[in-house]
Chain A
Amino acid sequence: MAKVEQRGTLSKSDLRDFYREMLLIRRFEEKVEERFRAGELAGFLHVAIGQEAVAVGVCRALEDGDIIMSTHRAHGHSLAKGTHPNEVMAELYGKAEGCSHGYGGSMHLYDVEHGNMGANAVVGGGLPQVTGAALAFKMRGEPRVAVAFFGDGATNTGAFHEALNMAQLWTVPAVFVLEDNKWAESTPESQHSPLRDLSKRAEAFGMYTVKVDGQDAEAVYKATRKALEHARSGKGPVFMHVDTYRLVGHYIGDPQIYRPKNEVRKLRETKDPLPLLRERLGLSDEEVQELETEVEEIVEASVEFAKSGTDPKPEDALKNVYA
């Protein structure tokens, strides 16, 4: 993945690259939905349609050596952090070539070489570990930052409050990225939090807080650069409150009976990060078509790669239990 040339400023070409990456995630997720409905994929699958700008904006801002921990909605984070689409798709097909070698699945995508310490299927479960990873970086004097992705639902867990309190207390280099998509599975924010502004929870620990429009990839990138600089310079952790939207159900097949029918339609018209960036860049139909073709080939190839992958032997289940 090409690195953005000049940190903190983005050329049109950089943003076009962001658009391409977001488009790849979108088409990848749509393909996952399609193959799941075709009965080819096992497990519980959560796609990140609508939240692509957060994954790309944050991950493109990271330096080599920075690490992330992700959530059950992890495909976009993994792709944006540099895992090859083939390896992500192969994992969803349960193949040995998958990024977790078939041991993890959609909710447990890992790629340690690329700094992805794992997607966590316990809401809030990874947050204390991000504090701990950042503590390790601080104790060893390494200029690295640990980054947590989590949703608004996670801000109600004990793990969230304990992890953020500890991170601020010890001024560790961590960035806590709240992807506030306003829904904790089927429960709206109005039913799960007494606060409308969830960044107040981080402010209560004295944590430096940044708010950003999560449908704007450039804004996410810039906010992340700022957050990383703060954390890396020893000033302590940062809480990024990223306003975003889940333009699909919680899981593939979710009938969304809890959500007004026209909400998703309206959000798709006004809050879809892809058309927003396309318009901003003034991409022509030809340019978009060119990118669509390129991305489609990558996604199709990933399905081919996955389907022709190796099934683990059943008894491989007993490997990797202990080091």
Chain B
Amino acid sequence: MPELSYREAVRDALTQAMRRDDDVFVMGEDIAEMGGSMGVTQGMLAEFGPERIRNTPISEIALAGAAVGAAMQGMRPVAEIMYEDFLTIATEQIVNQAAKHRYMSGGQLTVPVVFRTQGGAGWSPGAQHAQQLESWFVHIPGLKVVFASTPEDVRGLLWSSIYDDNPVVFFEHRTLYGLKEEVPEEIEPIPLGRARVHREGEDVTVIATGRLVHEALAAAAEAEKEGVSVEVVDPRTLQPLDENALVSSVKKTNRCVVAHEAVVRGGFGAEVAAVIQYQAFDWLDAPIERVGARFCPMPFAPVMEEWVVPHANDVLEAVYRTVGRGN
């Protein structure tokens, strides 16, 4: 089994889809010669040329919109939005256009486009390059939303997103690009809407996304030393959401922590908490704990950034609160 980094895994999915299918192409800012701001598309220009590894002007509206228009004509474009903060500029095309053409046409159109983007704290880029905005898009009927946390997942989920006939907003976390793991030789597509249980446990379920999956796994290892058994579940697809997997895990453990890097208020964890309390109310032995960033824009100073976003210890403390051992 080859070992791939998260970055290489994204590249592998793009490359193999483009080899297989002329309708797949990538467009974005600085993706050609430079290979993208995160180096994801490095080397792809040489294989596929500038038509299919298409550099765009700094025009997020037209970049997103042209991808939508091409998708409506049967192409399968992957539009790279360099930083997810810039999704705010492209949002009109994603929310009012991509998400609604199928619906407004009464089912005549499909819009098989992927908006790939990345973000997150860890490198101190400040308030306009480190947000986590995935929950915004979960609120929009017509969009699918993916947030992958491992190399194998990001490859299999991106493949499925490219071949999904709906618009998909695909989130990657910047600090995960260097993460490596062994992956199968052949891409194994991961169906959108299927959660992954990373670690089984008996006492507490942590439902985590993106970087926080790894923080939750670290917290679980610590908790185990104290005799608390933690199950870690990654929904992977935020819309559609694998509610059954999340609810059945909590019915087993009777305790739940939701964890993401985005701010707690209005974050995706709020939706998960609502789903769990409604479907597993009688099984819960403690209030659902929410872990996320503090309610401020992302600060620059590394000491502040570090303090604002959650880490393994924050997850661990939340776990302990659910079993009555918290401070």
Binding site for B on A (CB under 8 A): 67, 98, 100-104, 108, 110-113, 117-118, 120, 122, 125-137, 139-140, 146, 158-159, 162-163, 165-166, 169, 319-323
Closest to B51 in A: A139
How many chain B residues sit at the interface, stated as a range, is 35 or more
Query: Which of B52, B59, B109 is the one whose CB lies under 8 Å from A118?
Result: B109
Binding site for A on B (CB under 8 A): 22, 25, 51-52, 56-57, 59, 61-75, 77, 92-93, 96-97, 101-110, 112, 141-142, 144, 164-166
- The answer to whether A125 and B104 touch (CB under 8 A), given A136-B74, A323-B110, is no
Do A136 and B69 touch (CB < 8 A)? yes
Closest to B89 in A: A158
Do B73 and A137 touch (CB < 8 A)? yes
Closest to A135 in B: B70
Do B92 and A133 touch (CB < 8 A)? no
Do B62 and A165 touch (CB < 8 A)? yes
Closest to A142 in B: B73
Which residues of the partner chain B approach A163 to less than 8 Å between Cβ atoms? 61-62, 65-66
Do B66 and A320 touch (CB < 8 A)? no
Cα A118 to Cα B110 with chains together (Å): 13
- The answer to whether A103 and B64 touch (CB under 8 A), given A125-B92, A133-B73, is no
A-B contact pairs, 15 of them (CB 8 A): A98-B106, A100-B108, A103-B105, A104-B106, A112-B105, A128-B61, A128-B93, A129-B65, A131-B62, A132-B67, A136-B73, A139-B25, A165-B59, A166-B63, A319-B107
Do A128 and B105 touch (CB < 8 A)? no
Query: Shortest distance in angstroms between B305's beta carbon and chain A's nearest beta carbon?
Result: 31
Query: Which of B56, B62, B102 is the one whose CB lies under 8 Å from A320?
Result: B102
Do A110 and B109 touch (CB < 8 A)? yes
Do A132 and B70 touch (CB < 8 A)? yes
- The answer to whether A166 and B57 touch (CB under 8 A), given A103-B103, A104-B104, A132-B67, is yes
Query: Shortest distance in angstroms between A158's beta carbon and chain B's nearest beta carbon?
Result: 6
Closest to B71 in A: A132
Do B106 and A320 touch (CB < 8 A)? yes
Which residues of the partner chain A approach B141 to less than 8 Å between Cβ atoms? 321
Do B25 and A159 touch (CB < 8 A)? no
Cα A137 to Cα B71 with chains together (Å): 11
Do A136 and B65 touch (CB < 8 A)? no
Do B61 and A133 touch (CB < 8 A)? no
Do B104 and A158 touch (CB < 8 A)? no
Which residues of the partner chain A approach B107 to less than 8 Å between Cβ atoms? 101, 103, 319-320
Which residues of the partner chain B approach A140 to less than 8 Å between Cβ atoms? 22
Do B104 and A103 touch (CB < 8 A)? yes
Which residues of the partner chain A approach B73 to less than 8 Å between Cβ atoms? 67, 132-133, 136-137
Which residues of the partner chain A approach B74 to less than 8 Å between Cβ atoms? 136
What 7 A-B pairs come out closest when comparing CB atoms? A128-B65, A132-B69, A101-B106, A129-B69, A132-B66, A162-B62, A323-B165
- The answer to whether A321 and B59 touch (CB under 8 A), given A136-B69, A136-B74, is no
- The answer to whether A118 and B101 touch (CB under 8 A), given A125-B92, A162-B61, A163-B62, is yes
Query: Which of B70, B105, B142 is the one whose CB lies under 8 Å from A100?
Result: B105
Cα A135 to Cα B68 with chains together (Å): 11
Query: Shortest distance in angstroms between B168's beta carbon and chain A's nearest beta carbon?
Result: 11
Which residues of the partner chain A approach B102 to less than 8 Å between Cβ atoms? 320-323
- The answer to whether A130 and B106 touch (CB under 8 A), given A125-B96, A136-B75, A321-B141, is no
Query: Shortest distance in angstroms between B191's beta carbon and chain A's nearest beta carbon?
Result: 14
Closest to B64 in A: A128
- The answer to whether A112 and B109 touch (CB under 8 A), given A117-B72, A162-B57, is yes
Do B65 and A131 touch (CB < 8 A)? yes
Which residues of the partner chain A approach B108 to less than 8 Å between Cβ atoms? 100, 110-113
Which residues of the partner chain B approach A118 to less than 8 Å between Cβ atoms? 101, 104-105, 109
Query: Which of A103, A169, A320 is the one whose CB lies under 8 Å from B57?
Result: A169
Do B142 and A321 touch (CB < 8 A)? yes
Which residues of the partner chain B approach A127 to less than 8 Å between Cβ atoms? 65
Cα A136 to Cα B52 with chains together (Å): 11
Cα A142 to Cα B307 with chains together (Å): 55
Which residues of the partner chain A approach B51 to less than 8 Å between Cβ atoms? 139
Query: Which of B61, B66, B77, B112 is the one whose CB lies under 8 Å from A158?
Result: B61
Cα A51 to Cα B51 with chains together (Å): 38
Which residues of the partner chain B approach A159 to less than 8 Å between Cβ atoms? 61-62, 65, 92-93
Which residues of the partner chain B approach A158 to less than 8 Å between Cβ atoms? 61
Closest to B58 in A: A162
- The answer to whether A166 and B62 touch (CB under 8 A), given A117-B72, A133-B69, A133-B73, is yes
Do A130 and B69 touch (CB < 8 A)? yes
Which residues of the partner chain A approach B112 to less than 8 Å between Cβ atoms? 323
Query: Shortest distance in angstroms between A15's beta carbon and chain B's nearest beta carbon?
Result: 33
Query: Which of B22, B72, B110, B144 is the one whose CB lies under 8 Å from A129?
Result: B72
Closest to B165 in A: A323
Closest to A104 in B: B104
Which residues of the partner chain A approach B71 to less than 8 Å between Cβ atoms? 132
